[in-house]
Structure 1
Amino acid sequence: DKISDVKARYSGKVLEKKLVDLGIREANNYGWSDTYTFTKWLGEQLLMKALAGRSLTIVRPSIIESALEEPSPGWIEGVKVADAIILAYAREKVSLFPGKRSGIIDVIPVDLVANSIILSLAEAICESGQRRIYQCCSGSSNPISLGKFIDYLMTEAKSNYAAYDQLFYRRPTKPFIAVNRKLFDVVVGGMRVPLSIAGKALRLAGQNRELKVLKNLDTTRSLATIFGFYTAPDYIFRNDSLMALASRMGELDRVLFPVDARQIDWPLYLCKIHLGGLNRYALKERKLYSLRATQTRKKAA
């Protein structure tokens, strides 16, 4: 009914924004950070109801990022959760973000998630009629704080930025600072008011260009709205059930389909494997497309 009401009153881009705002309010009303987590929970409830008394296995991964080993170290399909913020920082659009440096940011390589699905599927086929939930995560067995996560990436970016030519166009000059949400809102809100006034003054003077600083602030606020919950965690996910599942499997299965997050060397994974994969796989097509578009424009000219 609420969706129908919004659709009846708005259209176009305004409708899209109003629906997003409605979704976030509804999710928050039921205790969820955003529509993504809310609809995941709704999906689980529907499955549990529809498959009552029948086999059901749910695998819950945390923040999925690039592969640790397979199909190749660093493999990733595109810009994921943490990568949107890394990319915005690399493009010098974001340097301040809401976050809890002492909080555990739960990241898991995609191949460990795939292996978890395979092991849980094998169990479900052999032992049907049960309900199982497995959490594929790193927070309880191999935790890394948001502060360490940022520090590792910033150190690598400043000392070795040239190795990631599609990610960093130049050496980063600003630090990436995580502050509590209230301070973030005060700083960003306080900066935006005079910048917005300056932008309007420029437009009245006949200059249509948008202030870069104002545009970057809006990018920061948008990313903070989407991902701010994940950078200020007050929870720790546990993978005890998943590790118990792995222990029930044969030795060969454990070797072929590893799921243990303790094998992750965080400095190596974040600084070399993940940044390298992000540069090689996630951004490659974007650069090629840009090059082809430039060549097409030159030919047309």
Structure 2
Amino acid sequence: MGEMLLFDGLRQDVPLVVMRPSIITSTYKEPFPGWIEGVKTIDSFIATYGRGRTATFLGDPSKILDLFPVDMVVNAMVVAIVIHLDKPYPRTVVYHVGSSKSNPLEISIFVSYICDYFAKHPLINVQGNPSEQPINLRC
């Protein structure tokens, strides 16, 4: 809705750059690998599996997930700002930020990463015990 308001003239003479990232995940590097503020999008599924509360990922195992780390989204935003900073005329530019073309990740591979990670690093529950994950996560 915000984009529609801006596209329909609310922005007046201000240049507009819109970033549309794919599925945003935890960080790749900054401020440290794996950091995320809150649990949103795909991270909620990962956390639910890590707590032993789900054993199924609904989806075709051969399909591609377009996951993109939040720090790389921020880097793309900074680059877009620099590129469009000195443009003398108001214009609208839309960027779709993703990685599936250059770095495809099949759902089956994603699921195996989750299973492997939590087998080695189980979450600790409130009683101080490791959470039990299902033996195999199924698609």
- Scaled to the shorter chain, the TM-score interval is 0.7 to 0.9
Give the SS at the match of 2:7: helix
Larger relative strand fraction: 2
Residue number among 77, 86, 89 corresponding to 2:37 in the alignment = 77
Moved over 3 A (4+): 51-54
> In structure 1, what residue type is equivalent to 2:22?
S
Q: Which moved more, 1:86-95 or 1:134-143?
A: 86-95
1:143 aligns with 2:107: no
Higher relative contact order (CA 8 A, sep 6+): 2
* Amino-acid identity (%): 31
In the alignment, the residues of structure 2 paired with residue 73 and residue 157 of structure 1 have an alpha-carbon distance, to the nearest angstrom, of 16
1:133 to partner: Cα distance: 1.0
1:171 to partner: Cα distance: 4.6
Question: Is the 1:65–1:109 contact (alpha carbons within 8 Å) kept by the matching residues of 2?
Answer: yes
Aligned residue in 1 for 2:74: 114
Residue number among 124, 127, 130 corresponding to 2:91 in the alignment = 130
Could you list the per-position Cα deviations for residues 216-251 of structure 1 after superposition, in whole angstroms to 9, with x for gaps in the alignment? Answer: xxxxxxxxxxxxxxxxxxxxxxxxxxxxxxxxxxxx
In the alignment, the residues of structure 2 paired with residue 126 and residue 98 of structure 1 have an alpha-carbon distance, to the nearest angstrom, of 46
Aligned positions, number: 134
1:125 to partner: Cα distance: 1.7
1:53 to partner: Cα distance: 6.5
In the alignment, the residues of structure 2 paired with residue 161 and residue 172 of structure 1 have an alpha-carbon distance, to the nearest angstrom, of 11
Question: Is the 2:52–2:131 contact (alpha carbons within 8 Å) kept by the matching residues of 1?
Answer: no
Larger relative helix fraction: 1
Question: Is the 1:105–1:144 contact (alpha carbons within 8 Å) kept by the matching residues of 2?
Answer: yes
1:84 to partner: Cα distance: 1.2
Change (3 A) 1:91 1:136: same
In the alignment, the residues of structure 2 paired with residue 49 and residue 94 of structure 1 have an alpha-carbon distance, to the nearest angstrom, of 43
Residue number among 40, 58, 61 corresponding to 2:18 in the alignment = 58
Q: Could you state the TM-score of these two structures normalised by the residue count of structure 1?
A: 0.41
